[in-house]
Structure 1
Amino acid sequence: MKILLYNPNTTVSMTVGFTPAALAAAEPTTEVIAETAAVGPESIEGYYDEGLCVPPMLHRFSDLEAEGFDAAIIACFDDTGLDAARALLSIPVFGLCQSAATLATSVCERVAIVTTMPQSVPPLNRLLSSYIGTERSAGVYAAGVPVLDLETPSDATLARLMDRCEQALNDGADGLILGCAGLSQLAQTINQRFGVPVIEPVAAATKLAQATVSLGLKTSKSGGWTPPRDKRRT
């Protein structure tokens, strides 16, 4: 099985940081190939950055089936370009938010997302509610930490993240989703601190990708993910 782990931002060191989570979740027979976007923003923090990432990502994805990939993971928690990628490809494509939310429903009654910047709260609230419903969503909590600060987090950064985790649990969450691929290295620390399920999204997406491919499932090509018609696009 061959899975692409694609970082739609251009920061190679971030890809290096979260790839171990995918490798740890991969079976011995699964090949995980990590790639970083050649064009786009250095980090994805809100709607504008998302929009910049999608065209180069779709251009890269257009070759995946010919290259023998069995699945693709978009390693951005905003599920950037997920529907467009699913319309383009027959192989299954996974977003981090949807993967983590899907897994969380089996181990948490009400789950909260802890993320980086405040501008990510509205899109992630919308995504979480659409994936698991408003009754099981305990909301989205932003630590006010730029994404790239997670590469070498200071004590102050860690304190802000822990504070938001604690606030989410005090407000009624019984599980946490880490709302950024850059948080992957902190999953164990947060779990040990609070003793509740902590869903690391890169590992969750890797596990779901393997299960889906093993079941022989492909992306539906009727409805909204019907392949794009062949026409001039300039």
Structure 2
Amino acid sequence: MRIVVTNCNTTQEMTEEIVRGARAAAGPGTTVTGLTPAWGPESAEGWLDSYLSAAAVLDALRTYDGPSYDAVVLAGFGEHGREGVRELVDVPVVDITEAAAHLACLLGRRYGVVTTLDRSRGQIEDSLETAGVARNCAAVIGTGLGVLDLADDPARTEAAFLAAGERAREAGAEVLVLGCAGMTGLQRAVEEKLGLPVVDGVGAAVKLAESLVSLGLTTSRAGTYAKPLPKVRAWGRPRG
């Protein structure tokens, strides 16, 4: 089984970190390939970044010419594009936001998301609402750290996560979710200190993708994700 994991930004180092986390979660016989968009934001940290990222990821998958794959994992937490990718490709598509929330709902009645900047909270809340899992979300809490800041100082990142995690627990969260693919691997360092299960969206998405492929399931083409007419799929580039 081959899973393509798409980074939502153009930072290759982050793609490599995400792939390491995905491979750690993958079962025997699963190959994980990382895909970095050729253009777009260096880090997706707001509405404009997110829309640009969605177009870049769709373009990367539309023009992909590597080995065939069995599933796609979208490794952008709260980023746009999930529905478009499901319309574009003929394999299961699992978004880390949706995957983490679904698994969190199996572990406790309410979950909290600990993310990067506060400005990301709105689009994460909207993504959870669209996925139908917002009702169980107690809070989305920012750490105040940018996406590219996460790897610079692991001790600072852990301290910021613990502080935000405490706030989420006070808001009623019984489970925590890593609200950025760049946080992959942090759950091992914070679970015991917080006394709560912590779900990594990258690992959750990989396991759900494996399950869908093993069960022979893929995106329904009845209605919402029906293939668009050929003329709608003809992408062009602006002149000039």
The answer to whether TM tops 0.5 is yes
TM-score normalized with structure 2 length:
0.91
Mapped contact 2:139–2:171 kept (Cα < 8 A): no
Range with greater deviation from structure 2 (166-175 or 126-135): 126-135
Paired with 2:185 and 2:196, the residues of 1 have a C-alpha distance of 17
Mapped contact 1:14–1:151 kept (Cα < 8 A): no
SS at match of 1:224: coil
Specify the alignment match of 1:96 in structure 2. Answer: 96
Offset at 1:156?
3.9
Paired with 2:153 and 2:65, the residues of 1 have a C-alpha distance of 37
Specify the alignment match of 2:113 in structure 1. Answer: 113
Offset at 1:225?
0.8
- What is the count of residue pairs matched by the alignment? 234
Mapped contact 2:87–2:227 kept (Cα < 8 A): yes
Mapped contact 2:111–2:136 kept (Cα < 8 A): yes
| Letter of the structure 1 residue corresponding to residue 18 of structure 2 | F
Indicate yes or no: 2:182 matched with 1:175: no
Indicate yes or no: 2:186 matched with 1:218: no
Offset at 1:208?
0.2
Paired with 2:235 and 2:35, the residues of 1 have a C-alpha distance of 26
Specify the alignment match of 1:22 in structure 2. Answer: 22
Specify the alignment match of 1:150 in structure 2. Answer: 150
| Letter of the structure 2 residue corresponding to residue 70 of structure 1 | D
Offset at 1:140?
0.4
Paired with 1:129 and 1:59, the residues of 2 have a C-alpha distance of 26
TM-score normalized with structure 1 length:
0.93
Offset at 1:65?
9.1
Paired with 1:133 and 1:204, the residues of 2 have a C-alpha distance of 15
Offset at 1:45?
0.7
Gaps of at least 5 residues in structure 1 are none
Paired with 1:48 and 1:186, the residues of 2 have a C-alpha distance of 27
Specify the alignment match of 2:81 in structure 1. Answer: 81
Mapped contact 2:125–2:134 kept (Cα < 8 A): no
Query: Structure 1 residues 11, 223: closer, same or farther in 2, change over 3 A?
Result: same
Q: CA RMSD in A?
A: 1.8
Paired with 2:215 and 2:43, the residues of 1 have a C-alpha distance of 34
Offset at 1:187?
1.0
Mapped contact 1:90–1:221 kept (Cα < 8 A): no
Offset at 1:230?
1.1
